[in-house]
Amino acid sequence: MSDNPPIVWYRRNKKDEPALEKRSIPAGVFTKCPMCREALLTGEVHKNLDVCTSCGHHFAMATRDRVASIMDKGSLIEHDAHVESIDPLGFRDSKKYSDRLKSTRKTSGEVEALIAVAGRIENIAVEAGFFVFEFMGGSMGSVVGEKITRLFERALERRVPALIFASSGGARMQEGILSLMQMAKTSAAIARLREARVPILSILLHPTTGGVAASFSMLGDLHIAEPKALIGFAGPRVIQNTIHQNLPPGFQRSEFLLTHGFVDIIVPRKELKATIALALRWMGTPAVTTRN
């Protein structure tokens, strides 16, 4: 910046959306859209599934709201809610991992970074997992890996589709190698689902990277992404630090993955439930069973 920055009279749509890196859940009375810069009534945005009423920008969405937006009302049974992390390595960075877990539980109101439910989507029985990005960046440690594996195993046993709504920075470093092995564990469970021809739907939300991208999230029968979600193996900063080049605009966004053949379809949030239901109907999932 020079000493005399030019006066900005009017500003709109910046070229390369910096606001996408940190997408926050709308809060307060007014919310300013980082894309179109419109001042929006937060209540209106919430009613619109946290999508900008002016330009369609997708804000982050609280995971419980996400669950409610997808699953049929009154159909939910939450599973494995009390599988809890321990601190197997005695890990400590700026604070002890065990303390970090405690404080994150308080601030997020969740026990871990994944909510596993059995329920229905337009009356079709499913087993679904929702990553809680609010909980340590949705990182996958032993608990998340275990809950996903159990979810896949339940789906196999009940022969109902398995859905994962991914939003995660990747493996949880605080659990070291145990986190890495969750990639293998969950992918092994996917292998069994595939063999049994149980539908696997991977819904890729902003952001899905690292070990969560490089395992079950990329192993769906279908990959459905929200618009402009960041999806990739390595984070953009890691890539930039490795190759010392500027990254092309739109790099690792949903649209980029679709162009390169790794995402089947990009679906705006408001149409997500209907699209999932359509795919499930096409796959020939049996209608509601008596078991749920």
Partner 1 sequence: MPPRKEKAKEAPVLDFERPVVELERKIDDLKQRTRLSGEIRREIENLETRARELQQHIFSSLTPWQKVQLARHPGRPYTLDYVSRIITDFTELHGDRRFADDAAMIGGIGFFEGIPVLCLGQQKGRTIKEKLARNVGMAKPEGYRKAMRLMDMAARFGKPIICMLDTPGAFPGIDAEERGQAEAVAKNLEIMAGLPVPIIAAVIGEGGSGGALAIGVADRILMLEYSVYSVITPEGCASILFRSDARKAEAAAAMKMTAPDLARLGIIDEIVPEAPGGAHRNFDLTARNLAAALRRHLADLLPLPPSLLKDLRYQKYRRMGAFVEAGGLAS
Minimum distance, C-beta of residue 100 to partner 1, in the bound complex (Å): 10
Taking the C-alpha atoms of residue 76 and residue 85, their distance in angstroms, rounded to an integer, is 24
Q: Is 78 in the site for partner 1 (CB under 8 A)?
A: no
Minimum distance, C-beta of residue 174 to partner 1, in the bound complex (Å): 8
Residues 32-71 that bind partner 1 (CB under 8 A): none
Taking the C-alpha atoms of residue 55 and residue 36, their distance in angstroms, rounded to an integer, is 6
Determine the interface stretch with partner 1 among 1-9, 67-75, 136-144, 274-282 (rule: CB under 8 A): 136-144
Using the rule CB under 8 A, which residue among 46, 158, 185, 228 binds partner 1? 185
Q: x/- site string to partner 1, residues 204 to 233, per CB under 8 A?
A: -----xxx-xxxxxxx-----------xxx
Minimum distance, C-beta of residue 12 to partner 1, in the bound complex (Å): 29
Q: Which among 266, 198, 262 has a CA at the least distance from the CA of 227?
A: 266
Taking the C-alpha atoms of residue 252 and residue 234, their distance in angstroms, rounded to an integer, is 10
Partners of 225 in beta bridges = 204, 266
Q: Is 104 in the site for partner 1 (CB under 8 A)?
A: no
Taking the C-alpha atoms of residue 36 and residue 181, their distance in angstroms, rounded to an integer, is 42
Minimum distance, C-beta of residue 63 to partner 1, in the bound complex (Å): 20
Amino acid letter at 2? S
Length of the chain: 292
Taking the C-alpha atoms of residue 199 and residue 215, their distance in angstroms, rounded to an integer, is 16
Q: Is 190 in the site for partner 1 (CB under 8 A)?
A: yes
Q: Which among 161, 152, 110, 100 has a CA at the least distance from the CA of 283?
A: 161
Q: By C-beta, is 33 or 114 nearer to partner 1? A: 114
Q: Is 243 in the site for partner 1 (CB under 8 A)?
A: yes
Which sign does the torsion angle of CA 99, 82, 126, 271 carry?
A: negative
Minimum distance, C-beta of residue 15 to partner 1, in the bound complex (Å): 19
Give me the residue label for tokens 């969560």: 212
Minimum distance, C-beta of residue 109 to partner 1, in the bound complex (Å): 17
Q: By C-beta, is 25 or 258 nearer to partner 1? A: 258
3-state secondary structure of 119: strand
Taking the C-alpha atoms of residue 232 and residue 211, their distance in angstroms, rounded to an integer, is 10
Using the rule CB under 8 A, which residue among 19, 64, 72, 91 binds partner 1? 91
Q: By C-beta, is 68 or 191 nearer to partner 1? A: 191
Instruction: List Cβ<8 Å contacts ≥24 apart for 238-247.
Output: none
* Contacting positions for partner 1 (CB under 8 A): 82-86, 88-89, 91-94, 141-143, 145-146, 149, 171-185, 187-188, 190-192, 194-195, 209-211, 213-219, 231-234, 238-239, 242-243, 245, 247-248, 251-252, 260-262
